């Protein structure tokens, strides 16, 4: 039985979204939560983004391409665990998901033109927030299909929290009819207006356009905008659906952070933004916390030969300093995010790349084990 806030969430939510700064453990936490939910009886899918190769292998994922693969129950046998429901995993392929979306939404006569458009082809990297958007769009699609009781979404490393939270709105703005009209003014089509104009649309446009040259670029862009404007309504409707999914009572967010001061500051900002956006932050997971060295280690050190003892005690003191620094950071986090439960996961000696390590991570996430 779980003793943390994530227990009830695993039992009742339909969508869990793991968010946080780059490298803090989002993919690890997402995979762990889906694993745990499946073991406890809810069929689950973890939708991962760029997982470490070894983790992907241990989940049975071989290639990109949005294929959902069932993780065989046998891989959990060594842990003495037999899942009560199925666990599926997939690696989200951003490009394939965009293409899929265009295929669904675009009128048949525009489809090929868009897919072949070079501006479109750079869209997934060019438009800020487009990765975040397409990940959520995929979850929205999966949720509509209703094949799983729980979908856990891992998210891409995001430099700014707003890129993620604002993604549906940004995509809507970008596709806005007004913007399209603007970009398609005759002066622009004739190439009479300089590049600086595009700054009005946001720096992502300029970044995307840097790949092209003058007239070629304008032609590609105007073709793209023309084609896209024909399907604004379909896009809008879906973006509204994605936005609604973010606020749905059965969608919850797990904010992952590491205990380093910079990451904690980012987590505090992220948390505030999510609250402002009426998102349900179920828990703050502080991952890779340095545990305080156990008293027994000091006792053991005392029995060593003098030279060796000095070295071991020095290491223990260093570890204690790191653990105390983490504790102070976590206390600040608690003050800055009142009402949101904080769950600590220790820093393990090895990376979390196999099912056993995920299982151990889950013991902390669900409160079977607690950091001393």
Ligand X SMILES: Nc1ncnc2c1ncn2[C@@H]1O[C@H](COP(=O)(O)OP(=O)(O)OP(=O)(O)O)[C@@H](O)[C@H]1O
Interface residues with ligand X (CB under 6 A) are 22-28, 50, 52, 157, 287-288, 345, 347-348, 351-353
Give how far Cα 20 sits from Cα of 43, 154, 178, 255, 283, Å.
25, 10, 33, 6, 12
- Comparing CB distances to Mg ion, the nearer of 27 and 287 is 27
State both tokens at 272: 């505030």
131 binds Mg ion (CB under 5 A): no
287 binds Mg ion (CB under 5 A): no
DSSP E strand stretches across the chain: 15-20, 44-48, 69-70, 87-91, 150-153, 251-257, 281-289, 342-346
What is the DSSP secondary-structure string of 302-355? HTS-HHHHHHHHHHHHHHHHHHHHHHHHHHHHHHHSTTS-EEEEEPPSS---SH
Q: Which residues contact 198 (CB under 8 A, 6 or more apart)?
A: 205, 206, 209
From ligand X, Mg ion, none, interface partner of 111 (C-beta below 5 to 8 A by class):
none
- Comparing CB distances to ligand X, the nearer of 239 and 268 is 268
Single out the segment in contact with Mg ion by CB under 5 A; choices: 25-33, 114-122, 187-195, 265-273: 25-33
Locus of tokens 């998102």? 279
Among 4, 21, 27, 340, binds Mg ion (CB under 5 A): 27
- Comparing CB distances to ligand X, the nearer of 24 and 105 is 24
From Mg ion, ligand X, none, interface partner of 255 (C-beta below 5 to 8 A by class):
none
Beta carbons within 10 angstroms of residue 76's beta carbon: 20
From Mg ion, ligand X, none, interface partner of 25 (C-beta below 5 to 8 A by class):
ligand X
Give the three-class secondary structure for 74: helix
Q: Which x/- pattern over 134-163 shows residues binding Mg ion (rule: CB under 5 A)?
A: ------------------------------
Q: Which x/- pattern over 194-233 shows residues binding Mg ion (rule: CB under 5 A)?
A: ----------------------------------------
- Residues interacting with Mg ion, by CB under 5 A? 26-27
């Amino acid at each position: 039985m779980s003793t943390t806030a994530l227990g009830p969430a695993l039992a009742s939510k339909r969508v869990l979204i793991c968010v946080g700064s780059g490298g803090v453990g989002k993919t690890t936490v997402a995979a762990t939560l889906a694993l745990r939910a499946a073991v406890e009886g809810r069929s689950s899918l973890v939708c991962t983004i760029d997982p470490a190769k070894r983790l992907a292998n241990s989940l049975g994922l071989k290639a990109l391409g949005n294929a959902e693969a069932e993780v065989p129950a046998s891989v959990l046998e060594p842990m003495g665990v037999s899942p009560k429901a199925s666990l599926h995993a997939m690696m989200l392929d951003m490009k394939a998901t965009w293409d899929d979306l265009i295929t669904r939404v675009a009128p048949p006569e525009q489809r090929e033109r868009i897919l072949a458009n070079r501006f479109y082809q750079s869209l997934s990297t060019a438009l800020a927030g487009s990765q975040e958007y397409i990940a959520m769009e995929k979850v929205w699609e999966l949720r509509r299909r209703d094949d799983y009781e729980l979908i856990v979404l891992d998210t891409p490393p995001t430099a700014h929290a707003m890129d993620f939270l604002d993604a549906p709105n940004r995509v809507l703005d970008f596709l806005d009819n007004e913007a399209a009209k603007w970009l398609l003014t005759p002066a622009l089509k004739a190439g009479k207006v300089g590049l600086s104009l595009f700054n009005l649309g946001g720096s992502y446009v300029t970044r995307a356009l840097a790949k092209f040259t003058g007239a070629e670029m304008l032609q590609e862009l105007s073709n793209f905008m023309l084609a896209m404007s024909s399907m604004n309504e379909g896009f809008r409707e879906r973006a509204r659906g994605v936005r609604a999914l973010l606020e749905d009572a059965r969608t919850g967010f797990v904010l992952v952070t590491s205990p380093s001061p910079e990451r904690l500051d980012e987590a505090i900002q992220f948390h505030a933004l999510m609250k402002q956006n009426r998102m349900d932050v179920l828990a703050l997971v502080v991952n890779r916390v340095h545990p305080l060295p156990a008293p027994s280690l000091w006792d053991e050190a005392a029995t060593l030969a003098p030279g060796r003892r000095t070295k071991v005690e020095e290491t223990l003191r260093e570890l204690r300093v790191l653990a105390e620094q983490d504790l102070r950071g976590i206390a600040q986090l608690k003050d800055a995010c009142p009402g949101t439960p904080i769950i600590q996961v220790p820093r393990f000696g090895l990376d979390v790349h196999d099912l056993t390590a995920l299982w151990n991570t889950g013991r902390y996430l669900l409160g079977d084990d607690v950091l001393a």
